Structure 1
Amino acid sequence: MEFNPNNPVVKHCLQGMEMEGSNRPEEARACFRRAWEVATNDYEKFMAAYYLARHQDTTRDRLKWLETSLQLALQVNDEGVKGAFPSLYQKIAGCYAELGEHEPAKKNRELAATFSEKPSDKGPFYHGTKADLQVGDMLTAGSVSNYDAAIVMNHIYFTALVNGAGLAAALAKGSGPERVYIVEPTGSYENDPNVTDKKFPGNPTRSYRSSAPLKIVGEVPDWVRQTPEQIQKWREKLASNQGKIIN
């Protein structure tokens, strides 16, 4: 299931996070409750339950919602959700520890440790840019960040979602047309730590990075393009983002 920022559940969750940032916990809880109520599938319910868990008054209630989120996540066969399992199991273990239930705490810590840090996503993978490149060219690390001109990136970034690559192309520096290339990693890669478990649980945008080059093997002619108004809103969000880029 492809992550969509225009999904109603995602919108409610984003509103809830804004309320959290403004120190308005009751309004945040109401947003996440609405997300739960309008969710129509296991993926949406998994996200809503994850956020409802952190707005519970007791450890037992927090545990209930975390376990609900976990059970729903286990029903979803999605690469973006798999990255949430270590964090979910750790949070559940923490709740059991607070309750003095040491055996289930130990069991969930062990379950968290069973998940490899290496993504299992096999692609296909995409990279969005305004650069005019050819099949066979290599994309390498060492470019200036699109989001902070003071940072030279140690990794090259890519995604398994073609529309996400299209958004990256729209936001990329340069005056050329937006291009989305099909790429193959030539070395190991990892979840992008700038997005994984930052706002949404796991890696819903299926974003990755590698210090090894990416080989261009094709180009995608079409994807869902953002309107100029939507692009401007994304630029404003990025400009106001106070988070430090993990390089």
Structure 2
Amino acid sequence: MIFFLAGTSDARELAVTLQREGHRLIASVVTENAVKELEQMAVPAFAGRMDAEAMQAFVLEKEAAAIVDASHPFAEEASKNAMEAAERAGVPYIRFERKEQNFQESPLITYVSTYEEAADRAAKAKGTVMLTTGSKTLAIFTEKLLPIEDIRLVCRMLPRKDNMEKCEQLGLPQKNIVAIQGPFTKAFDQALYEQYNVTCMVTKASGQRGSVDQKIEAAKELGIETIVIERPAINYKNRCSSFEEVRDMLLTFEIRGGERVGF
């Protein structure tokens, strides 16, 4: 059995692909909605965050042959826990991560390394700042931007109850919440920017499947400043950026059908 961390849409596609090719696996996801999506595709899954110790115990209990970490590019803690759990349990760790996109240089695009840097940069803007980085780090932006009279902070995020509760706790007005689930088109993003008169957009370098390219291109065409938060610098082991590379890596570790042959 393969212990599979699924954090993106393409990660779920990889899980389905591996299972169809004969690998037994069980997927760990963050939300119950993701569990339902995978179960509809006949992939066993469960929701919940685990630290390294819990992952190690799970791997040993299930006698997992490997950990395939296809968590979100910004799920830094999950990846570190998975690498540590694999080392402790003595099983291979394989990282799958979609390629990062490189955009043409533009005076409208600013790259930063942290959420704090992004908030500081956005604080210099005037008008409407649209945040598209999710709810996990929302407090960093509300603390910095909500007190500024010349800035209206609008947040686009998944329509989940816990997200709405967090917005309320942090004092974000309902009229400034865009609760919606993608995928989105460039035309949709442009319409959204125009609806809210956006002057600055904040996003993460999540990759094409995260619709980052469309968000940025839509903003560029409208002359909107964009702040891009770069991916965490993690020294991944056995990093793959395609399904084929993951298959090859499993074969390298002599894993067939979710089992490690010869061990």
TM-score, normalized by length of structure 1?
A: 0.29
Higher strand share: 2
Higher relative contact order (CA 8 A, sep 6+): 2
Give the structure-2-normalised TM-score. Answer: 0.27
